[in-house]
């Protein structure tokens, strides 16, 4: 089955190739449609199968022309106009644009000037000194390309959590409908909610593995069967590999613990167990006291079941057998969680229900896709107590004509106040200012005084070294006008690495100056990430979980932000937008 993520990918490729071909306006329309398609809650392929063209055209920013291309792709696996663009510009646009500073227009220019089609071509041209000879380039740009090639070659090998997890949810829903499935759950990095994953791992408890495997490979969403056997199978759904493993019900808990990982967590946990005469593996927890060498042989059935089995049917029992609290999957990265579980000090992690509002969103006043009224209405429907509009201010790194001048910001504040007067949610007037290379935010005093919340984010000069970047971001944090440091690294997953910085130093500055550090929940960012969140919280920093939504559907990105916060050990008290309105206002002012 063609997934929404796959459709969105084709529309984004369309936009990139149009931009590379110097086409005006159309690229933005395709990108807006791609964002709506990716966030759409229903598989759009189902509309095509039902010949429901009307439902396709009701998706935000999907008009007749784009709807036709969606139908064409679902039905044929190709879009004729896209194939023509590929023939005209035979470049690996996805790979080339992963190089920081190389956008679609740049990729198109490099193809026209030097015939560059791939990363290998680009590397050869840069090493030969040819790139710096192209108008608009130079030695610094050429060196930047060479330094970022390795990163660009590796990042495309993993899928974004926001693309893979919805598919995993569909897989689980299907398996739960199979009569011979007793229990099922995702495993691996996707269960730990890592920002990128290699493939979707699923574990099933069943007494009839053969039937489960047959049903799985025959699922109508499967595009290709990669391999299958008596207890496991691998298939491709869209562009994502799904690996299914079956176990007998009494070993489901031990297998789930084992295959969830991480590797480092499991190694530390196994060593902790060995010190207590317990052996852990995918088949259970075994009391091996009195056995000289638990690893010297196998159980009577040829599998590693040596000693007396004391746990394995459920996952919590695997930890209880060691005197530990159950450790949430997000924490299993070997960052102190086992000691915390032993001491009874595991955090009471943030949940989706704790979030009372969103402080960083966009509207059509800048690069958003929808009106203030529509975004506010969507926030009210989500049950939020408050909602912040924070469109882009003009400044470095913001696309031309997308950022608001001081005069336009003041005009928008008035418009926000008018909407707020009739809204069912408290509406905060904000702005996303730009952190320049030195840490300045470029807002006038009158604007600062008029706003309820100022999010300051880096959008340019993202190649600074860690020391310079840390000093720059600290300067922004220490600015009394700044309430939230937005997406601190500026990274885009699978596209650019962004700034490196000392998260502890930023956390200390944020704690000292009452500035929140943002977890940007857009699945292309997830910035801050787990380990950085943990370091910041340990230093006393307040955290904000924001979606950076550009349309109503993407307010649901809060899901990814909450789980990223949990990976950083965040409790509700650590997050400012879990607070009641008056407490939040006190923080902001």
For the chain, give the mean pLDDT: 93
Q: Cβ distance 536 to 529 under 8 Å? A: no
Please, are residues 538 and 558 in contact by the beta-carbon 8 Å criterion?
no
Report how far apart, in Å, the C-alpha atoms of 179 and of each of 15, 207, 209, 242, 383 are.
44, 11, 12, 20, 37
- CATH T-level topology, domain 4-155: DNA polymerase; domain 1 (1.10.150)
For residues 367 and 550, the answer to whether their CB atoms sit within 8 Å is yes
Q: What is the arithmetic mean of pLDDT over 240-269? A: 97
| Residue 94 pLDDT class (50, 70, 90 cuts) | confident
**Which tokens hold the place of 315?**
């996952």
Write out 35-70 in H/E/C secondary structure. HHHHHCCCCHHHHHHCCCHHHHHCCCCCCHHHHHHH
**Distance from C-alpha of 243 to C-alpha of 246, rounded to nearest angstrom:** 10
* pLDDT, tens only, 146-204: 988 887 776 656 889 998 999 999 999 999 999 999 999 999 999 999 999 989 999 99
- Nearest CA-CA partner of 559 in 166, 187, 112: 166
Report pLDDT digits (tens) over 326-377: 999 999 999 999 999 999 999 999 999 999 999 999 999 999 989 999 999 9
Give the start-to-end residue ranges of the domains of the chain.
4-155, 159-247, 252-343, 352-588
Confidence of residue 141 (pLDDT cuts 50, 70, 90): confident
User: Which of the pair, 292 or 474, is modelled with greater confidence?
Assistant: 474
End-to-end CA distance of the chain: 50
Taking only the tens place, the pLDDT of each residue in 406-451 is 999 999 999 999 999 999 999 999 999 999 999 999 999 999 999 9
Instruction: Assign 297 a pLDDT band (cuts: 50, 70, 90).
Output: low
Residue 95 CB partners (closer than 8 Å, separation 6+): 118, 119, 152, 153, 156
- H or E element, residue 241: strand 240-247
Residue 178 in contact with residue 168, Cβ under 8 Å? no
> pTM, whole model, 2 decimals?
0.84
The arithmetic mean of pLDDT across residues 125-146, rounded, is: 90
* DSSP structural state of residue 326: P
How far is residue 419's CA from residue 364's CA, in Å, rounded to a whole number?
15
Instruction: Tell me what pLDDT residue 301 has.
Output: 45
Token representation of residue 272:
């902790």
User: Which CATH number among 3.20.20.140, 3.40.190.10, 3.20.20.70, 3.10.20.580 corresponds to the domain 352-588?
Assistant: 3.20.20.140
Helix (H) or strand (E) holding 150: helix 139-155
Conformational region of residue 464, where left means phi above 0, alpha means psi within -120 to 50, and beta covers everything else: beta
CB atoms within 10 A of CB 502: 18
**Which residues, in sequence order, are bridge partners of residue 431?**
391, 454
> Could you tell me which of 539, 207, 227, 187 has the C-alpha nearest to residue 329?
187
Tokens of 350: 């943030």
pLDDT at position 35 is: 85
Whether pLDDT at 398 is above 90:
no
pLDDT for the residue numbered 298 = 52
C-alpha 270/C-alpha 286 separation (Å) is 11
Q: Kind and range of the H or E element at 538? A: helix 530-538
Instruction: Report pLDDT for 300.
Output: 42
Mean pLDDT of 33-57: 89
Residue pLDDT, tens place only, 15-29 = 999 999 988 888 989
Q: Is the pLDDT of residue 518 over 90?
A: yes
Q: What is the mean pLDDT of residues 276-300?
A: 81
The residue-averaged pLDDT of 470-481 equals: 98
Compute φ and ψ for 212, nearest 5 degrees.
-60, -45
CATH pick for 252-343 out of 3.40.190.290, 3.30.210.10, 3.30.360.10, 3.40.630.30: 3.30.210.10
Could you say which DSSP state residue 479 is in?
A: -
Reply yes or no: is the peptide bond before residue 112 cis, omega within 30 of 0. Answer: no
- Residue 136 pLDDT class (50, 70, 90 cuts): confident
| Short-list 433, 415, 421, 413, CA closest to 371 | 415
CATH 3.30.460.10 fits domain 159-247: yes
Backbone angles phi and psi of 279, in degrees to 5: -110, 130
Mean predicted confidence (pLDDT) in 386-407 = 90
**Cα distance between residue 489 and residue 464, in whole Å:** 11
CA dihedral 327, 332, 338, 341 (to 10 degrees): -20
């Amino acid at each position: 089955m063609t997934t929404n993520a796959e459709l969105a990918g084709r529309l984004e490729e369309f936009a990139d190739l149009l931009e590379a071909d110097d086409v005006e306006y159309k690229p933005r329309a395709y990108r807006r449609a791609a964002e709506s398609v990716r966030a759409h809650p229903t598989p759009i392929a189902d509309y095509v199968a039902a010949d429901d063209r009307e439902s396709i055209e009701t998706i935000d920013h999907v008009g007749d022309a784009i709807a036709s291309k969606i139908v064409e792709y679902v039905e044929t696996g190709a879009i004729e106009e896209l194939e023509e663009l590929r023939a005209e510009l035979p470049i690996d646009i996805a790979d080339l644009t992963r190089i920081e500073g190389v956008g679609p227009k740049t990729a198109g220019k490099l193809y026209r000037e030097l015939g560059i089609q791939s990363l290998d071509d680009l590397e050869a041209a840069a090493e030969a000194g040819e790139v710096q000879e192209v108008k608009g380039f130079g030695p610094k740009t050429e060196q930047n390309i060479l330094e970022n090639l390795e990163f660009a070659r590796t990042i495309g090998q993993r899928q974004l959590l926001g693309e893979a997890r919805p598919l995993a949810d569909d897989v689980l829903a299907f398996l739960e409908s199979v009569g011979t499935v007793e229990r099922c759950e995702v495993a691996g990095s996707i269960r730990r909610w890592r920002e990128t994953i290699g493939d979707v791992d699923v574990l099933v408890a069943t007494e009839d593995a053969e039937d489960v495997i047959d049903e799985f490979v025959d699922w109508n969403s499967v595009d290709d069967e990669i391999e299958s056997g008596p207890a496991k199978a691998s298939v491709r759904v869209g562009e994502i590999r799904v690996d299914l493993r079956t176990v007998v019900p009494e070993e489901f808990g031990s297998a789930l613990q084992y295959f969830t990982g991480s590797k480092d967590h499991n190694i530390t946990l196994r060593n902790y167990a060995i010190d207590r005469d317990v052996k852990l593996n995918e088949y259970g927890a075994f009391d091996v006291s009195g056995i000289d060498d638990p690893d010297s042989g196998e159980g009577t059935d040829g599998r590693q079941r040596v000693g007396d089995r004391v746990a394995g049917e459920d996952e919590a029992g695997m930890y209880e057998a060691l005197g530990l609290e159950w450790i949430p999957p997000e924490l299993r990265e070997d960052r102190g969680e086992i000691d915390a579980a032993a001491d009874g000090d595991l955090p009471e992690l943030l949940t989706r229900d704790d979030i009372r509002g969103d402080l960083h969103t966009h509207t059509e006043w800048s690069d958003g896709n929808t009106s203030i009224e529509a975004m506010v209405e969507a926030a009210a429907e989500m049950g939020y107590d408050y909602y912040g509009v924070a469109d882009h201010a003009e400044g470095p790194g913001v696309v031309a004509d997308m950022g608001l001048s001081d005069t336009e910001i003041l005009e928008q504040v008035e418009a926000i106040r008018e909407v707020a007067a009739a809204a069912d949610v408290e509406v905060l007037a904000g702005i996303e200012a730009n952190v320049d290379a030195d840490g300045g935010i470029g807002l006038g005093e009158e604007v600062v005084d008029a706003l309820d919340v100022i999010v300051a984010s880096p959008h340019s000069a993202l190649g600074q070294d860690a020391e310079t970047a840390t000093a720059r971001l600290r300067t922004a944090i220490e600015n009394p006008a700044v309430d939230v440091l937005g997406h601190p690294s500026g990274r885009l997953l699978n596209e650019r690495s962004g700034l490196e910085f000392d998260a502890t130093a930023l956390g200390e500055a944020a704690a000292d100056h009452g500035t929140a550090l943002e977890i940007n929940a857009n699945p292309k960012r997830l910035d801050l990430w787990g380990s950085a969140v943990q370091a910041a919280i340990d230093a006393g920093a307040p955290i904000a979980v924001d979606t950076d939504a550009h349309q109503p559907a993407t307010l649901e990105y809060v899901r990814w932000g909450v789980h990223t916060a949990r990976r950083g050990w965040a409790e509700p008290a650590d997050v400012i937008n879990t607070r009641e309105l008056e407490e939040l206002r006190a923080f902001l002012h």
